[in-house]
Structure 1
Amino acid sequence: MPTREGRHLVPTGLLLALTACSPYADAEHGVAAGGRGLAKLNPSPQQGYELVLTLKDAPGPFAVVEGVAQYDARNYAACGRILPATGTAGRITSQEPVELRKVGENEYRGTFYLDRMQDEEYYGRGVCHWTLTGVGAMLRATTGEADTRFLTFIDKERMEAGNPLTRFYPRADYPQIEEIKGYGASGEEDPSSYRTDLRDALFSITTTVQKLAP
């Protein structure tokens, strides 16, 4: 999950393929440092949605609650930079932060946009067209990196169908697992997936997406 403004994710192979003489080297090095690279934000997005997180039976408070919307250039094969090592185009993707505010004891809300990214030509091969892939969140008991990261992500198809996503997590994983520092817990949709002795010791995060009025 991003902790800085935006995060454009680039395959490791692409970063390794860059050379000092590449006109895109500075931009891609910026990506590696947590920046957005060549990708740009739409200055006036219009298609707003609200991400809603609802917690049930939480084992304690969460000091960190971060949202993220992931976008991908759907036509990257036709518009992306050709990788010298393979002759194929590199995937173009960006993760943009969604600020989540606490609106109740167990509820967080934040706004994101389908049209957050700017369609543009980046590599002289045609305009890249962005699409939302999905939206999710990360929750952590404290700001300590050793604490468990409770993760949830709802994809665009489920979002558009209006189907909420509920995932269940063992309460014992809060605030951290001693043996696995910084563990990323994705949870399970079906609580019966857990051992019998854990099923009565779970908490849940329900992710709902609502379209905002224009």
Structure 2
Amino acid sequence: MEDDGEVPDEGEAEKAYIEVCVRKGNRIRVADQRCDDAERGYSWYFIPAEKRVPALGKRAGKGSLRKPSGEILRAAKKGGRGNDVSIVDVEDRVMVCVRKETRTRVSDRACNGRKRIFRWYYIRIDRHVPAVGEKAEAGSFRVPYGDTYNAIQKGGIGTKAAIDYEDYEDSDIEDDTDDGSNDTATDTDTDTDRVTTGCGIGCRRCTGVCNGSSSNGRRRGGRR
């Protein structure tokens, strides 16, 4: 399927786009959760911020299936144009490692490796975080703008389940055994642009990067 409308210009400086979830076959807008969960047959569609955004159930146009550079915002269900439609999603999230096809939570070690069947799944910090072995719901595979935290193995409400770097090594999350060690596929779709920054919950003083930090603990999103 060919995209219609304007193709993002690589030379443009920080142009803003609105993302909506569409059926690939006809570009009819559907609920964002289908794209957040990477369901087959659905894709994000990027519309320049100055163009009209369709409401749910309407056909999207004047955009592209290709992800552009620049700021990317979400859209209100009613659609529209300009400030009336754009939503900035900056909520902090708790990240859990899941099997991509089932969204069943597994050990964080599976996502710290390079196996494509495992992905980080980001859940708003005010929502329920699944325990290892449970299915993750109402989150997203997209890297968020806000800060992200790891979670204890038993899950729970995100504000209580979230752990930062200095607490991570002492948590029971490293004791689970379902780390995907029997899977041999090589990951080509992991999130490699995230870094551990900031003071974090457990850091005693702010140095810009938590002392001894690694890929675990708190991370800054910054999706562009």
Superposition TM-score tier, normalisation by shorter sequence: under 0.3
Q: TM-score, normalised by structure 2?
A: 0.24
Could you say which structure has the higher strand fraction? 1
Select the structure with the greater relative contact order (CA < 8 A; seq sep ≥ 6): 1
TM-score between the two structures when normalised by the length of structure 1: 0.25
